[in-house]
Structure 1
Amino acid sequence: MLWLLAHNNERSLGHGSVAREVWRLYFHWYGVLSHGAFPAHDTLWQYPPGAGAVLLAPGLVPELSYFQAFVALTLATDALVTAVLARAGRRPGRTLLGAALWTGGLPLLLHLPLARYDVEVTAFAVLSLLALQRSTRACGALAALGALVKVWPALVLLGLERGRPTRRAWLTAALTGTVTLAVFVVSFRNPLAFLRQQGGRGVQIESLGGTALSLARHAGWPGTSRYQYGAIELVGPHVHAVATASLALTAAAFALLLVWRIRARHWTPATPYDAALSAALLFTVTSRVISPQYMIWLLGLAAVCLTSRHTTQRPVAALVLAATALSAVAYPAFYAEVVHCTWTGCLLMLARNGLLATAAVLSLTRLWRATRRREDTAGVRMTAVRQVARPRMPAAPGSLRSDRG
């Protein structure tokens, strides 16, 4: 990955577009943040205030340029995630498949993970889930910190088993998030400016809705693609309707996850891991934006699932790996084809998003069955036990005649 980053200017690697985000955009934001303010009037700033801390961190590394320090910190975070997954995999009842998936899966995205801060975000989610066995408070605190960097790590708390430990984790997350947000409000100007920019986002060309609109161009749809809000988005008739439908599907996915949680009765040690991956997949496929770096999140959560022998998500992890490989083919290698909505670009995105949609449906289905199966089986067994153990009462005299009849 480092070798690819060093040859970032090659045509097949995106003509320098992958690394440009760090040394141009992130470094620009670093300059604004270092003066005590968030980039309030920058339409590209669409991240919670915790992202500011991640972008300021490279400035604390001495004797390195901002770009070098950013990559060094990303590599250190990658090493931390690998070490934690490997340690978790050595425990009784666990497996090293999680560490193997992370180590072998991340390079499928080429050098992209080293030039985005999603590895750091994923680290919060991974550490939060793996801390659950030792401390529910640590689990909640890490999830809250991750949510302040990019909102999705809050999803890891969705699958915690009902009861006092879960309430403790959620309460710790709420307190940690509130206190940390208060620190940002006191220390920086405009910490919530990202909310205004998020509301204006449209349909990115790599999203599920974007794939549908790209295919529609071959059927006569008059829309086109345009760079705005930091991504290539589709503009034209019905785009707003597609964006609204995506938001509605995200709300429906959240409601479905709540129904699962209410109806779930059986938890294994892997259930919180499986639920986190399922939730992240559902929110990814219904998003208006499915950037290739989103695959880093899914790889991290899939790796956590594979540390447990009780996981139901092994086939889902295989689909995530395949989708990750296709993401790297689409960006940066064939991104021009995707942007211009050629048949090659459309088929690439259709395959990638089809794999993600299949993984999301399969993930939730397997999670749902696993958390209901034991209850149903136990009910059948208890009914059989009661029938066998029920004492036989002597029959009334009149009943013998009716039985013969």
Structure 2
Amino acid sequence: MTTQQIAATDANTAPGSPTPAAAARRCGRRLGGVWAATRLAMLALLARPLGFFHVGTINGEVHQIYHRWYEQLVRGGFPLDDVMWQYPPGAALVILGPGALPWLTYFQAFLVLTLAADALLAAALARAGRRPGRSTAGAWMWVCALPLLLHLPLVRYDVQVTALAALALLCMHRHPRVGGVLAGLGATVKLWPVLVLLGAPRGRTTRHAWLSAAAGAAALLAVLAAAFSHTFGFLRQQGSRGVQIESVAGTVLSLARPAGWPGKVEYRYGAMEFTGPYVSSFAHASLLATAAAFCWLLLWRVRARHWTPATPFDAALAAVLLFTVTSRVISPQYLVWLLGLAAVCLTSRATTQRPVAALLLPAAAVSTLAYPVLYDDVVTGTPLGCALMVVRNGLLVAAALLSCRRLWASAAGGALRRQG
């Protein structure tokens, strides 16, 4: 740096103001402090749940289901004829992961690995936010919004999957092959991370990302197929899923119960689902809506003309929102995915998805009221339970529509892109 440049820098820096590096370190310390405080509070709910709300039973999935799968996997086979195993083979790596910490119980090791993935994602968002044209708002959203779901994110493996998808997006611009591999690995754990590739810029970036995703996923699946038996048995369970009570279609059926619809709620395939007349029709309608959403995304991809650094992020959030609201199942942990992708969007000052991210915050809070706080009301279909699901799913549908509208306007017309 020349003497003139140093003088110009000094002239533009107010006396006593911190340098950019010092400001970044201060922001990092604050972010780390908030992360530690909020995660300790989430852990405290596991140790001492809010008993008057009966929310302490949600960790049974790790204690019972995940641990049972772990014991089957270490014997060399995927869960056979277990209707609750509905995940792609890569999920085995997450289930087996706690075995790498043998000095801890399975539950303790699972928590440690989940918190590690959470911290890694927060650090990646913060680092991405310090680049030119970026913002640390994404890191702050992730750190502060995840506790809206109470301790649920700690006892599901969606934080790990979200970390893979978010890191894939953050790598897409500079390292599309790395981003593609991460997205492909994420898709082998839960299918949705493949959607983050839909907004990859045309040309070499798209080719590198998609080919790397396919190669990474194929290599992992080949290894798992050679190492375990019944690797693809999960496909039988997916086709039998019904309409979960927390889905958009389930909300319609919940509202029909007071009007005389004779359907019932039963525990099936690891979730509370509706059974009775017209349920299969609603399930088929959900599948058709998902197909229509995919067609819209393809149309957007063909028609899009303007790409900003935020377009891959915005497209990923819009795609996952569409597939969430049209799904037969909306488990509460799906909000982890959406909060993570919204946080990635907010790392870019060019994003069009700020209003969408704002809608997801109350959606997460209401989702927590619906499960686990007032889940009995949702299951029995009380007026309060129905109201909660109408509000939560209404917010998600509004977020999906707004996300798509702003994505289309930005990429096809550029108007919102100019607004920033």
TM superposition score normalised by structure 2: 0.88
Out of 145, 167, 171, the residue aligned to residue 105 of structure 1 is 145
Which string of whole-angstrom CA distances, capped at 9 and with x for unpartnered residues, describes residues 132-187 of structure 1? 12210001000000000000000000001111121111111111111111001100
Paired residue type of 1:2: L
Counterpart residue type for residue 127 of structure 1: L
* Aligned with residue 2 of structure 1, among 43, 59, 72: 43
How do residues 203-352 of structure 1 correspond to structure 2 at under 5 angstroms?
203-352=243-392
Percent identity at matched positions?
61
Letter in 1 for 2:117: T
**Secondary structure at the residue paired with 2:297?**
helix
- For the residue of structure 2 that corresponds to 1:233, the secondary structure is strand
Give the match for residue 239 of structure 2. 199
Gaps of at least 5 residues in structure 1 are 379-405
RMSD of aligned residue pairs (Cα, Å): 1.4
- Whole-Å separation in 2 of the counterparts to 1:285 and 1:377: 26
Q: Residues 5-404 of structure 1: matches in 2 within 5 Å?
A: 5-8=46-49, 10-14=51-55, 16-374=56-414
Deviation at 1:8, TM superposition (A): 3.4
Give the letter for the 2:124 counterpart.
V
Alpha-carbon contact 1:95-1:308 (below 8 Å) kept: yes
Tell me the secondary structure at the aligned position of residue 155 of structure 1: helix
Q: What residue number does 1:401 align with?
A: none
> 1:234 is paired with a residue of what secondary structure?
strand
Q: Distance in 2 between matches of 1:374 and 1:56?
A: 46
For residues 241-279 of structure 1, the C-alpha deviation after alignment (integer angstroms, 9 at most, x for no partner) is 000000000000000000000000000000000000000
Change (3 A) 1:36 1:8: farther
Cα distance in 1 between the residues matched to 2:359 and 2:76 = 43
Matched residues, number: 377
List, as ranges, runs of 4+ consecutive aligned residues in structure 1 with deviation greater than 3 Å.
Answer: 374-378
Query: CA 1:247–1:377 in structure 2 vs 1: closer, same or farther (change >3 Å)?
Result: closer
Q: Deviations over 1:307-332 (max 9, x none)?
A: 00000000000111110000001111
Tell me how far apart the structure 2 counterparts of residues 252 and 340 of structure 1 sit (CA, whole Å): 32
Q: Taking structure 1 as reference, are residues 281 and 292 closer, same or farther at Cα in structure 2, changes over 3 Å only?
A: same
Structure (1 or 2) with the larger CA radius of gyration: 1
TM-score of the two chains, using structure 1 as the length reference: 0.91
Distance apart, 1:376 and its partner CA: 12
Alpha-carbon spacing, 1:4–1:13, altered in 2? closer, same or farther (3 Å): farther
Give the gaps of 5 or more residues in structure 2. Answer: 1-41
Q: Which moved more, 1:165-174 or 1:282-291?
A: 165-174
Q: Is the contact between residue 311 and residue 351 of structure 2 (CA under 8 Å) also seen in structure 1?
A: yes
Task: Give the letter aligned to residue 46 of structure 2.
Answer: L
